[in-house]
Structure 1
Amino acid sequence: MAPPPKRSLVTRFTTNNYVAGMLPTLAGFMFGCDLISMSGQVSNPAYLNQFNHPNSNLQGAITAAMPAGSFGGALINSYLSDKIGRKWCIIISGWVWVLGCIIQAASFNVRTLVAGRVVAGLAVGLGSAIVTIYQAEITRPAIRGRIVATQQLAITFSELLQYFVSFGCSYIANDASFRMPWALQAIPGLILGILMFAFPESPRWLMDHGREEQALQILADVHAEGDTENELVQLEYLEIKRQVEFDRTLAARSYLDLLKPEYFRRTFLACITQMWSQLSGNNVMMCEYVFQSAGVTGRRGGLIASGVQYALHFIATIPAVIWVDKWGRRPTMMIGMFTMGCCLFAVGAIQATLGQPLHSGSSATTTWTIVGHTSARNAVIVLSYIFVMLFSMTYGPCSWIFPSEIHHMRVRGKAVSAATATNWMFNFALAWSTPPAFRNIQYKTYFVYGTFCICAAINVFFMFPETKGRTLEEMDDLFAAGHAFSAWRLSSVPKKTLADVEAEVADSDMRSEGDNKHTMNHIEKSSSDHLEQAGRHV
């Protein structure tokens, strides 16, 4: 057997599983930066003066402009990712982000600011919808959860970084205090838009578009240091090839096709996963209004308390990245949502018992606060920190992992696009409704989100099967093993072994030889023939 060809240093770098899986998470940096770009400014005097002191409704609309653009970007992604490829979608998202940041940093009125946030949101929607697909399709099943979880790690780190950039710039006495953070956040998009040119396309997308030799080489580069004759590379190549040819008979040509019986269950689960991510109250618990209602006074005090929260948000994500492939998706999501719900109910109870109305003007967002109860104030702050850490360690990373790995390849682009669009749809609704909620229903806001968390935990128990360690091509067997409300029984469904894959390939070939009506691929009659034949194609 001939030794694998020598690869250049650049090729070895760009096809490393961890590097190829983690560079696209710069789109997660864009996501996190734009989430926080407004949080650090809502009490900035220079920002308020420049934009004429927006009331709670207008501020909600300004904040919601970004997820509105992201909703559109997530939907556009479906067409682009299938048409031009995963890699080019990521590149485009980086350059559109740079444009959005320039518009925001140069804005002098609300309309221009909203326009810039919509453009930036479009980029974030494109990136957030495609990055996890790319990661899932290019990495090994054994580390797929860990790699996809780095998207959440990138989001939390960028939130931390952007928040402290905003905090540092808050000491500037003019409008540079908000323009500089908005301009600096263009950097990750610029880096992503340049470096991604050197990285490989998804081998599954290449296979789907008839570029089989290129797909095989990328699989070899990523999984076996360029050795196209490696047994595992050959088996994955054959399995993807069979799945592509089978899925072509079931291809989704529009979003309505996702409602067909063979797709609906997984589409529903992917969308509801992202819905619960928003309804968990994560973004609500990380806004400055929580600390204002707890009785934290002064802008600097609120910024410092929020800064600690963002630091914990990032640090707590690290265990999930390391161990999520060991913990599994189901228990991680269930435990996370249940404990988060307990934290929210506890905060609401403290606020209801010891809080009081705050009369601070007709345009104020916070109208309920804790006064004179230092222990209660500290308890609310600590509970908010615990809540954010729980989200970071549990549901946050899994909300990106689970939707990216459960679909047919032929519908993965549209299905993940629909799931991400669901995320942004609820993000938009919550961004607009959160300021009025703190103003009008006050402490009851925590009870609403606590109820959502408990409902999510119940939903995961009944409907979410365990997917850790399974190949993307195994998901059909997993979801065919039980009905929609028996997910807790599916953990016993055996995973495919190397022998299983070989036997399935040989069995499908023998069936196709005996029946010309079958359209499955006639590659070989035995697993050894498969490996020899695939090697001759290279």
Structure 2
Amino acid sequence: MSITKSSESVPSGTIRERSLAVATQAREEHSWLEKKLKPKKISARYPFKGKPLLYATCAFGSLGDALFGYNSGIMSGLLVNEVFISRFFKSYGGADGTTSGVDPSITGISVACLQAAAAVGALIAGRLGDMIGRKKCVRVGAFIYFFSSFIQMFAPGFATFIAGRTIQGVGVGFLSMTVPIIQTEIAAPHRRGLMEMFTRYRKRTIVGITVQMFAQINGINIISFYLPSTLSSAGYDNRKSLLFTAANALPYTAATIVTWWLADRWGRKPLLILGGLLMAVLLGVVCVFTEINVDVQVKANGQYAFVMLYNIIYGFTWGPMPWLLPAEIFPLRGRSKGMALATTSNWIFNFIIGMVSPDAFSGIHGYFYLVIAGFCLSSAVLVHFYYVETAHHSLEEIAVAFGDNAFADGDAEVMDMAGAKSEQVEYSA
């Protein structure tokens, strides 16, 4: 590669002075809040560094994402807990300790209020993360979550419980938006895929939003939220329903570990397409077992077996991929806003699922699984025809696939930003 000057070169000292001037101007344009809260320096005050610090940061950061799974699991159990129902749903028809007399919309609100608040929290965190830094943003989210837990713990009634759960959703939104960004940015380049781009286009945003949308409407939280109730209606007692729901999480967790190996071996698109097709088939079988007129025990066992298979497939396809893909396709300077939009999409459709599902099951019963199966098929089609594969592709290849200029107009744009137009260079092989 040879480098030819397109104009007279400028002394390096001049470029350095101009760069410092640009940096000074950028600092002056920061808001008062940014100046107060933005970290002034990066402190290395940890007992270890390198890979141990990387792995520890990712592991403890993942606890923030795990809080959503914990909330989903605990709420699904509470909806079949007699003490909880008689205490908080007493005024809504749950005095007998069951939700059979409770309006489905009330049940939906108790589940979906967290998701609605998390969507708001993710949007706020997208801006706040750039202002105060990722670490402080995680701290704020963790504090909100901790504080709201006490509100729910000592809630005297349904309204207070919902208020606490709503506040908790804001904290979950902070963590679910910020933690994936931290994990992507601290990973080595060959581990994190696409990290830097110079332009942002509509197609990236569509991919980021739709992949998180389908992560929800493909049915995982319908299974998570309402599996205990489904198993109870199929013939299991409350104790077995809770036990089997907990056991169902084990193969799901194991399947997510497989993704570490498959994501780079097979690629992102094949995993998403395979997941969409297989989940559609499995949900169709679940619908059959839900509506078929057979022995209660056969019906319950059939439902549970295919729901477990569905969870395994989701665990290594649509579970982790929607969090990896947006972090890879958005450029560094726009990653916070891009991830905020994608994460907000996740929580909005999570909220919609939580609100609609009780009424849908009440109205069309097990046939609602066919609706979800249709979404799974649609997701596979969209991924095949619209998404871009990011595994094993360079920045330039992915940029071209998105229809971008690979080098930001031959680096002229970068030179302009530095205020050194006379230092433009032309690259030739």
* TM tier relative to shorter chain: 0.7 to 0.9
Q: TM-score, normalised by structure 1?
A: 0.63
DSSP-derived class of the 1:10 partner? coil
Contact 1:141–1:470 (CA<8 Å) still a contact in 2?
no
1:141, distance to aligned residue in structure 2 (A): 3.3
Label 1:90 to 1:14 Cα distance change in 2 as closer, same or farther (>3 A).
farther
Q: How does 1:236-251 map to 2 (within 5 A)?
A: 247=198
Higher mean alpha-carbon deviation, 274-283 vs 410-419, is at 410-419
Q: How does 1:27-106 map to 2 (within 5 A)?
A: 27-51=64-88, 52=90, 53=94, 54-106=102-154
Contact 1:296–1:302 (CA<8 Å) still a contact in 2?
no
**Residue 346 (structure 1) aligned with residue 285 (structure 2):** yes
Q: Could you tell me which of 344, 352, 355 is aligned with 1:421?
A: 344
Number of the residue aligned with 1:379:
302
Number of the residue aligned with 1:282:
220
Contact 2:388–2:398 (CA<8 Å) still a contact in 1?
no
1:374, distance to aligned residue in structure 2 (A): 3.3
Contact 1:407–1:475 (CA<8 Å) still a contact in 2?
no
Aligned length: 371
Q: How does 1:161-176 map to 2 (within 5 A)?
A: none
**Residue 394 (structure 1) aligned with residue 317 (structure 2):** yes
Give CA-to-partner distance per residue, 1:487-535, whole Å, 9 cap, x none: xxxxxxxxx9xxxxxxx79x946x689x9799689999899xxxxxxxx
Mapped to 1, the partners of 2:317 and 2:164 lie a distance apart of 33
Label 1:135 to 1:512 Cα distance change in 2 as closer, same or farther (>3 A).
closer
Pairwise CA RMSD of aligned residues?
A: 3.1
Give CA-to-partner distance per residue, 1:1-53, whole Å, 9 cap, x none: xxxxxx98624168733233332111112211222221111111110121112
Unaligned runs of 5+ in 1: 1-6, 146-235, 251-261, 355-370, 483-495, 497-503, 528-538
Q: TM-score, normalised by structure 2?
A: 0.78
Number of the residue aligned with 1:310:
249
Number of the residue aligned with 1:122:
170
Higher relative contact order (CA 8 A, sep 6+): 2
**Residue 319 (structure 1) aligned with residue 367 (structure 2):** no
Label 1:517 to 1:120 Cα distance change in 2 as closer, same or farther (>3 A).
closer
Higher mean alpha-carbon deviation, 266-275 vs 432-441, is at 432-441
**In the alignment, residue 57 of structure 2 is paired with which amino acid?**
A
Number of the residue aligned with 1:433:
356
Contact 1:66–1:117 (CA<8 Å) still a contact in 2?
yes
Contact 1:66–1:121 (CA<8 Å) still a contact in 2?
yes
Mapped to 2, the partners of 1:18 and 1:521 lie a distance apart of 42
Q: Could you tell me which of 275, 300, 303 is aligned with 1:336?
A: 275
Label 1:518 to 1:42 Cα distance change in 2 as closer, same or farther (>3 A).
closer
Number of the residue aligned with 2:185:
137
**In the alignment, residue 357 of structure 2 is paired with which amino acid?**
T
Mapped to 2, the partners of 1:33 and 1:340 lie a distance apart of 23
Contact 2:410–2:426 (CA<8 Å) still a contact in 1?
no
Mapped to 1, the partners of 2:127 and 2:413 lie a distance apart of 33
Number of the residue aligned with 1:453:
376
Number of the residue aligned with 1:26:
63
Give CA-to-partner distance per residue, 1:419-468, whole Å, 9 cap, x none: 11111111111112222222211011111000000010000000111112
Label 1:521 to 1:301 Cα distance change in 2 as closer, same or farther (>3 A).
farther
Contact 1:408–1:476 (CA<8 Å) still a contact in 2?
no
1:110, distance to aligned residue in structure 2 (A): 0.8
Mapped to 1, the partners of 2:362 and 2:165 lie a distance apart of 24
**In the alignment, residue 391 of structure 2 is paired with which amino acid?**
K
Q: How does 1:177-216 map to 2 (within 5 A)?
A: none
Mapped to 1, the partners of 2:417 and 2:250 lie a distance apart of 60
Label 1:16 to 1:322 Cα distance change in 2 as closer, same or farther (>3 A).
farther
Contact 1:96–1:120 (CA<8 Å) still a contact in 2?
yes
Contact 2:79–2:229 (CA<8 Å) still a contact in 1?
no
Mapped to 1, the partners of 2:149 and 2:422 lie a distance apart of 52
Number of the residue aligned with 2:28:
none
**Residue 265 (structure 1) aligned with residue 203 (structure 2):** yes
Higher mean alpha-carbon deviation, 36-45 vs 442-451, is at 36-45
1:471, distance to aligned residue in structure 2 (A): 6.1
Q: Matched residues, percent identical?
A: 27
**In the alignment, residue 430 of structure 1 is paired with which amino acid?**
I
Label 1:521 to 1:76 Cα distance change in 2 as closer, same or farther (>3 A).
farther
Give CA-to-partner distance per residue, 1:193-246, whole Å, 9 cap, x none: xxxxxxxxxxxxxxxxxxxxxxxxxxxxxxxxxxxxxxxxxxx9xx96xx6xxx
1:269, distance to aligned residue in structure 2 (A): 0.8
**In the alignment, residue 136 of structure 1 is paired with which amino acid?**
T
Mapped to 2, the partners of 1:470 and 1:452 lie a distance apart of 29
1:387, distance to aligned residue in structure 2 (A): 0.3
Mapped to 1, the partners of 2:77 and 2:361 lie a distance apart of 18
Mapped to 2, the partners of 1:325 and 1:9 lie a distance apart of 31
1:343, distance to aligned residue in structure 2 (A): 0.4
Mapped to 2, the partners of 1:282 and 1:467 lie a distance apart of 25
**Residue 403 (structure 1) aligned with residue 343 (structure 2):** no
Mapped to 1, the partners of 2:413 and 2:185 lie a distance apart of 28
Contact 1:337–1:457 (CA<8 Å) still a contact in 2?
yes
Mapped to 2, the partners of 1:512 and 1:38 lie a distance apart of 51
1:409, distance to aligned residue in structure 2 (A): 2.1
Number of the residue aligned with 2:11:
none
1:113, distance to aligned residue in structure 2 (A): 0.4
Contact 1:96–1:119 (CA<8 Å) still a contact in 2?
yes
Contact 2:64–2:172 (CA<8 Å) still a contact in 1?
yes
**In the alignment, residue 399 of structure 1 is paired with which amino acid?**
P
Number of the residue aligned with 1:291:
231
Q: How does 1:229-240 map to 2 (within 5 A)?
A: none
